Chains A and B, each alone.
Chain A
Amino acid sequence: MPYNVLIVEDQPILAMGVEDAVEALGHCTIGIASNATDALKYLDTADIALVDVNLDDGATGPDIGRQMANANVAVLFMTSDPSALGAGVRNTLGVMEKPMMDLEMIEAIQFVADYRSGTSVPVAPKKLKIFAH
């Protein structure tokens, strides 16, 4: 089933790449947010959030991810600085390190969607680091 996807990314060029991948998989991009305030507006409507760590308002990504996960949104981080997440953020799925290939991005989004649906066993691309919790 199609999901509502929020892209939290302060580089519009990168956001556009993600948006393409989301839409190619048949999902709907409900928003692109470059800071915490904008991102949290989608707390109730997003099914999936793809979240960068460093945003316009600083390294607010981890906190956005935590709040989204607590609101039952499936959260995957996408960042060039995965070490900023330490061992992981509670209840979020994992992290993809940027840059990544288009195919890896598609696989990663597919993984989150499969996880969200709960109907099939999700398969993560090798580059995706799954948080242990």
Chain B
Amino acid sequence: MGVKQINWDETERSAALHSYDMLDTPREQDFDDLAKVASEFCAAPIAVVNLVDSTRQFFKAEVGLGVRETPLETGFCQHAILSEDILVIPDATKDHRFDCNPLVTGEPGLRAYAGALLKSPEGLPIGTVCVLDYQPREFTHAQVEMLRFLARQAMAQLELRRTVAQQRQLLRRARSAEREKANFERVVRQASDFIGMADAHGHVLFLNDAARALVGLAADEVLRTSIWDYIAEEHHQIFREDVIPLIRAGDSCERELRLRHFGSGASVPALYSIFPMRDEIGDLLGYGFVSKDISERKAEEQRRAEVMGEAAHRIKNTLAVVQAIVSQTLKTATSLDQGRESISRRVAALASAQDILTAAEGSVADIVDVISSAMAPHDGGTGRVTMGGPSRLLAASQALGLSLALHELATNAAKYGALSGDAGNVGIEWTVSPEGAFILEWIESGGPAVATPSGTGFGSKLIKKMVAPYFQGAATLDFHAEGVRFRLEGKLAEMV
């Protein structure tokens, strides 16, 4: 007698069983009916639809047992699954495989067994439909055939369930993929950047919301457009000569381009990227394009350029003043050295006025600061210069003119006037009426006797002629014997 070799191993069999996902599921009418038919048709007290797991048997349906699972060791079916398709044992006490089985020798005293295999489509046995009896007995041909039929029915039910389960799983996957796709679409659609897609001919297939908002297109207008329609006229040439050749060659390309607004026709500055999109095998699907509205950045650049332009203009103005000082000083200088010194002092006075304006951020400066700063180099901390008057704002040019005039007055005082000896003083006092009438007086006292100087230099011109126009007023310079007196009358801008 030869040896029969089974052609499956337990791993495969177990995998096949588990693929039906039936173990430990609740009772079901479809299987209960099969067990009931088996029991009745075979006139057997026990009938089971049995799934043989690796370590136990699970009863999907049973009649006359009252349990859902039992250990394998004492079962009949592990023997059945080694048989071709049916195992019939009329009297277990006379079968060497079962004559010592405790279920036979002891309670409940099983005697007869008939089981048909549940076979997967690949031929793997996963269980049985079987009947058992407490009496030894024969099974008719019809009964055996019925068990076979019921086993096929049980398999059909299992297959049906597995198919449904697989389809549910497919559906779940499809739904999850759908959700994922929807989320991606949402990301693309709701991204704040301009995102679009065109086919290989440049016909636009998709534009996200931000893109449509940027170029003023309604959703139903997108499909009639070409990628060219989005580029502002003035940048068509760059697009044609620079961008198109790059993407034709398969490269991506990023440029600052102006996009056209379909509604207004205005152009919007954008950082525009375009790249070829390919499928898994490298065939060109079309082009993706992503743009970012850079209007704000451009506006900022423009603003910065304007600020720089304004600064350059102010600097040139100041240079023009410096140049006038230099040229006027040189015209009347008695020697190059004297000219050089006068220039450097005057430029320093101008610079200090500029400092105050810079600190005050440009257009206005406080008269108190302007006078203090102009006199600081001449007072030398001796307290010989006193000043008093209200705090008021001066326009930039007024601050500059007054600084230069005070500088000239102080220079003269140091050379010939009250500050030339050890004793004299200078008092500076000013008043401003509510209407803006401005009077400033410079009074020297205690210095050497004063003689009227020739007064043709730039300094005296500055004092006598130039400062007054800054205040739309008049200036007088008197050489009293007791000291020089300067009086400036003009007006300040109304306080805002």
Interface set of A (CB-CB < 8 Å, partner B): 10-17, 20, 32, 34, 80-81, 83, 97-102
- The digit string for B122-143, where 1 denotes a CB below 8 A from any CB of A, is 0000000000000000000000
Among B46-54, B217-225, B309-317, the one that faces the other chain is B309-317
Contacting residues, chain A, for B83 (C-beta < 8 A):
none
Q: Is B247 an interface residue (CB 8 A)?
A: no
A14 touches B321 (CB 8 A): yes
Q: Is B461 an interface residue (CB 8 A)?
A: yes
Q: Is B397 an interface residue (CB 8 A)?
A: yes
Q: Is B259 an interface residue (CB 8 A)?
A: no
Q: Is B481 an interface residue (CB 8 A)?
A: no
A14 touches B324 (CB 8 A): yes
B466 touches A12 (CB 8 A): yes
CA A20 – CA B313 in complex, angstroms?
Answer: 24
Q: Is B327 an interface residue (CB 8 A)?
A: yes
Contacting residues, chain B, for A16 (C-beta < 8 A):
324, 328, 461, 465-466
A-B CB contact pairs (8 Å), 15 listed: A11-B317, A12-B401, A12-B466, A13-B328, A14-B320, A16-B461, A17-B323, A32-B469, A34-B469, A34-B472, A80-B313, A80-B320, A99-B323, A100-B320, A101-B323
B470 touches A12 (CB 8 A): yes
Q: Is B325 an interface residue (CB 8 A)?
A: yes
Picked from A34, A83, A98, A100, the residue with its CB within 8 Å of the CB of B317 is A98
Q: Is B370 an interface residue (CB 8 A)?
A: no
Chain B: residues with Cβ within 8 Å of the partner, total of 26
CA A32 – CA B317 in complex, angstroms?
Answer: 18
CA A100 – CA B324 in complex, angstroms?
Answer: 9
A13 touches B404 (CB 8 A): yes
Query: Taking CB as reference atom, which chain B residue is nearest A78?
Result: B320
Contacting residues, chain A, for B327 (C-beta < 8 A):
17, 102
Q: Is B34 an interface residue (CB 8 A)?
A: no
20 additional A-B pairs beyond A11-B397, A99-B316, beta carbons within 8 Å, are A11-B320, A11-B321, A12-B470, A13-B325, A14-B324, A15-B469, A16-B324, A16-B461, A16-B466, A17-B323, A17-B324, A17-B327, A20-B331, A34-B472, A80-B313, A80-B314, A80-B317, A83-B309, A99-B320, A100-B320
User: Distance (Å) between the CB of A10 and the closest chain B CB?
Assistant: 6
CA A14 – CA B467 in complex, angstroms?
Answer: 12
Query: Taking CB as reference atom, which chain A residue is nearest B319?
Result: A99
Query: Taking CB as reference atom, which chain A residue is nearest B461?
Result: A16
CA A14 – CA B462 in complex, angstroms?
Answer: 11
Query: Taking CB as reference atom, which chain B residue is nearest A10?
Result: B397
Query: Taking CB as reference atom, which chain B residue is nearest A33?
Result: B469
User: Distance (Å) between the CB of A132 and the closest chain B CB?
Assistant: 23
